[in-house]
Amino acid sequence: MTDFHKRVVTDPYANHLGLRFDRIEPGFASCSLVITEYMFNFLGVVHGGLVFSLADAAFSAASNRDHSPSFALDVSGTFLKTARLGDLIRAEAQLVQATQRTGLYRMNVYNGDDLMATFNGTVYKAKDRSGKKDAPSHSTAPSVWTEPLSGLTFVPVPGGSFTMGDQTGTGHENEKPAHPVTLTPFYMAATTVTQNQWQTVTGQEAGSDSLSPETPVTHVSFREVETFISLLNSRYDDRRFSLPTEAQWEYAARGGGRHGLYAGSDNPADVAWFGENSDGRPHAVATKKPNAFGLYDMCGNVWEWCLDRFDDQAYEHHDKQNPLITGHPDMDRVARGGSWLMDAWSIRCARRFSFPEDISGNGLGFRLVMMLH
């Protein structure tokens, strides 16, 4: 796994690769190519220049910009795999947020059906007509941010309104009534906290029976998670980390309010490790497709602790804006998302569950949200 960051004005390889655009529409583009011997000889390290060329092309098309000095890219990401001769490489860029001058994109690169690399990119004009440079700004286009100690990547989730709860009539009674909720903007970690990240922050090994350091940390109680969060919060004055509220979690999982059953697809196998495909174990994070916000494993793999106390009738008296159920100290905490051992019904975006604060297990983990002061 290799981290990557690069700023460019134009890509010198774009005209030499035989790129084929499969789909272009406002805010989305996909392109592909087949690895040839020429690419190896000309580009050297394939997963560097080649993958970035795909990123450049996909970002440019989705942004409705050409390959010229009229725009620039700020791109960061992670390479998960390299490529071989004859491999079919496909890049998909999706607009996450836009202003008049900038666009924030999420992009994935696939080697066949396997995720090869992930990128976050801000597209912006290099110069306006007055000759002044336009730079990405947190106030106009919030950027993806990686916390340096843990390595957790936080992606912006724009505020908005959505319908929370079961909208199909097939859910549990505690998922009803479906009701409107409005949320202010926040950031959410692209993945659940991994075993390796837990150890880096706390200096202690969790009791996880995971198969690799990149699998979600499990066997951590709500109180232990609070300790992890306190350690991160002690490092900053301008931001605050916490568990997501139940409403933040569902809004983010639904990609801002989409009505699908699962986070990013109507087919759970595309986006989730669950009882039918997990082989009875948790899997490394970010090995399934992300949802529209670039969030991985919102359904399946592990249940995720939420900040709310669990109230069976919460939806009957939710606040309309930024709801949070505080309840009584003896009430359980909400958990969302399902896990690697659950059936498809139990990993739906609307599914609600709960655990006592002192419980832990091999199907229960967590992810963080971040608010800027």
Q: What is the pLDDT of residues 77-121, one digit of tens each?
A: 666 666 777 888 888 888 776 665 566 777 888 888 888 777 776
Residue 88 tokens read as: 């079919």
CB 104 within 8 A of CB 96: yes
Q: CA angle 286-155-186, nearest 5°?
A: 130
- Write the pLDDT tens digit of every residue in 309-318: 999 999 999 9
Residue 177 tokens read as: 């009534």
Q: How is the beta sheet containing 20-25 ordered, strand by strand? A: 2-8, 71-79, 114-125, 102-111, 88-98, 28-34, 20-25
Q: Count the neighbouring beta carbons within 10 Å of the beta carbon of residue 26.
A: 10
- Write the pLDDT tens digit of every residue in 117-172: 777 766 655 443 333 333 333 333 347 889 999 999 999 998 899 999 999 999 99
Spatial separation of the C-alpha atoms in residues 328 and 218, rounded to whole Å: 26
- Strand 333-336 to 352-355 pairing: antiparallel
- Global pTM reads 0.66
Nearest to 119 by CA among 152, 185, 74, 66: 74
Sketch out the chain's domains with CATH numbers.
2-130 (3.10.129.10), 153-372 (3.90.1580.10)
Q: Given this model, what pLDDT does residue 139 score?
A: 32
Question: What is the sign, positive or negative, of the torsion defined by CA atoms of 248, 180, 288, 208?
Answer: positive
Q: Given this model, what pLDDT does residue 10 score?
A: 38
Q: What are phi and psi of 49, to 5 degrees?
A: -60, -40
Spatial separation of the C-alpha atoms in residues 99 and 162, rounded to whole Å: 22
Q: Give the max Cα distance, the chain.
A: 66
- Write the pLDDT tens digit of every residue in 286-343: 999 999 899 999 999 999 999 999 999 999 999 999 999 999 999 999 999 999 999 9
Q: Count the neighbouring beta carbons within 10 Å of the beta carbon of residue 280.
A: 7
CB 153 within 8 A of CB 189: yes
Q: CA angle 92-163-187, nearest 5°?
A: 50
pLDDT greater than 60 at residue 8: no
- Strand 239-242 to 102-111 pairing: unpaired
Question: What is the sign, positive or negative, of the torsion defined by CA atoms of 55, 57, 62, 66?
Answer: positive
